[in-house]
Amino acid sequence: MADRLVECVPNFSEGRNKKVIDQITAEITSVAQVTLLSVEMGADVNRTVVTFIGPPEAVQEAAFRAIKKAAELIDMRQHKGAHPRMGATDVCPFVPVSGITMEEVVQLSREVARRVGEELGIPVYLYEESATHPERKSLANIRAGEYEGLPKKLQDPRWKPDFGPAEFNPRSGATVIGAREFLIAYNITLNTREKQYATDIAFEIREKGRSVRRGNTQPFYFKGELVKYRENHFPCGNCSFVGKTLEETAQHCQKVHQYDLFELLRMHGTDPRNAIGRSVKKPGKFKHVRAIGWYVEEYGRAQISINLTNYKISPPHRVLEEVRRLAAERGLVVTGSEIVGLVPFQAIYNAGKYYLQRQGKSTGVPVTDIIETAVYSMGLSDVSPFDPREKILGLPTTPDNALVAMRVNDFTHEVSRETPAPGGGSIAALAGALGAALGSMVSNLAIGKPGYEAVEQDLIQLAEQAQELKDKLLKAVDEDTQAFNAYMEARRLPQNTPQEKAAREKAIQEGLKQAVNVPYTTAQFSLEALKLCHEAARKGNVNSISDAGVGAQMAYSGVLGGVFNVWINLPPIKDQEFVSQMKKRCDEMEKKARHLLEETLQYVWNKIRE
């Protein structure tokens, strides 16, 4: 079962005084098991985004301590900045990462909100999944009017806080707390100082959309006259259709443009029953996208500041490409983009694959190449350095002390020493990985070449599968040695009492099974790599068919090496059913591999000797 992990991303209304932020983050790191992932200060927006992760209870305590310290150190009466805000801790979202449900995180967020309201006397509103009212689900709705509008807002019974007093706290303002899915804070930078131009594009892409204007609307759509609903005249925001009633127009919008006109009006704070006199709204291009425009003095450029609340539906690279198109329409250029805080691995990985596909390149390449393509294509280092190791959550990494992190000659020397590990199991995994790598190479060398058009998609799929197998087998290089070391540790356990002897024997048996399962998995993966090399030999670049043969031979060595290491560790295992099943499976696997190798090598020899 995965570790129970929750991420917390509080935003503090201070981006210029590092000493203040250091004191706040010190409160976070004072809680055991909490890991501080990033601290991003913005001087112009006067705001800092902090990201930390840990077990639920630890994150809950760290968040409260941070909010308490922010209330002590930040005075909202002195705060000025470009970013909308309403409190010292402006917003504090909790995000489920692994081993925990959204419902559990909602309960966690409400407990923190209760403590903040009761113990600190700060008005707290719940938002997103934690919201208690539909209109409070949106952060923008809650934050409307910002800090300056709080005194009046708190007097309105409809905006009574979920926790804490319905009284204005001039020093700390109010705080918004809730549970949500992973949000990507994403800014796109333009080659202009004009905030209005960035706002214009922001209105086009955001889910909420914009008001429709007529007249001089090209290329900037904020210059024309507002189009308003009037009696018997309800225009569609997307085409020339005009209904005699709002219901008639709503039916048209749903049928032709697939959007809910009434919901759009509500998003803009308009009651559909009283729409006459209100401006016509045009829906935005992306769902789950919020966006505003601002000018950043530090960069000397305007930015479109975007929150992607569901990157799986509206991924950053798709939004970026649409912004590039809209900017070009307006005579503007996107100079780059930036990730504020962290970004999930899958979002950047998918972006890299997207740009490789647009270039007509294979996506069956190492993960590092795909990530590098995304960083360059999206201009993620335009305004500040983008370090994938620091910015990407879940980025596959190799520990510095791993065997596969060693130089080839150092690893070879290590194998040659008198220590039993790394040994044949690790070498088998490495052989299988090299076989998979060659299968990928032979496939990639044919992609984009004349004569291979009919099988190009097959080859791309082959290359992608080979990359996955390569990475799994590289991990197995270290896992085999770790399994052997765990078995040896079990043998060194004390055996002075009957209880100690029983515990030692149980640990030894478990260690032996692990020492069998790891090379068995190596053999399985290597057999898959052998199959890929067999197919690559038949479909891949004919000038590299010898490489496919070498890959097949290496993959077979991975199969045979894995099987050898299974057999040698079976005799001491007392679970005879396990032993019998493992022997049978290994025999069948080795026979399949040998037959496939012979067939592949024969095909390679025939081609080479033609």
The DSSP letter of residue 254 is: I
Decide if 113 contacts 87 (C-beta within 8 A).
no
Written as six digits, the tokens of 430 are 């490495």
**Which of 90, 478, 480, 547 is flagged as catalytic?**
480
| Residues near 329 by beta carbon (within 8 Å), at least 6 away in sequence | 219
Contacts of 209 (CB under 8 A, 6+ apart): 203, 237, 264, 267, 281, 282, 283, 284
Q: Among 290, 461, 300, which Cα is nearest to 382's?
A: 300
**Polymer length of the chain:** 610
SS3 content of the chain, % helix, strand, coil (to 5): 55, 15, 30
Active site residue 252: no
Q: Are strands 89-98 and 175-179 parallel, antiparallel or unpaired?
A: parallel
Spatial neighbors of 301 by CB under 8 A, at least 6 apart, are 189, 190, 191, 192, 193, 295, 335, 383
Q: Which residues contact 584 (CB under 8 A, 6 or more apart)?
A: none
Contacts with 511 (C-beta within 8 Å, 6 or more apart), sequence order: 483, 486, 487, 489, 490, 491
DSSP character string of 306-361: EEES-TTTS-HHHHHHHHHHHHHHTT--EEEEEEES-EEHHHHHHHHHHHHHHTT-
Closest alpha carbon to 187 in 378, 11, 36, 387: 378
Catalytic residue among 83, 252, 317, 534: 83
44 is catalytic: no
Give the phi and the psi of residue 2 in degrees, each rounded to 5. Answer: -65, 150
**Cα-Cα-Cα-Cα dihedral of 582, 583, 587, 590, to 10°?**
60
- Which candidate, 238, 190, 196, places its Cα nearest to that of 220? 196
Helix count (H) and strand count (E) of the chain? 18, 19
Looking only at Cα atoms, what is the longest distance across the chain?
94
**Amino acid residing at 363:** T
Q: Which residues does the annotation mark as catalytic?
A: 83, 480
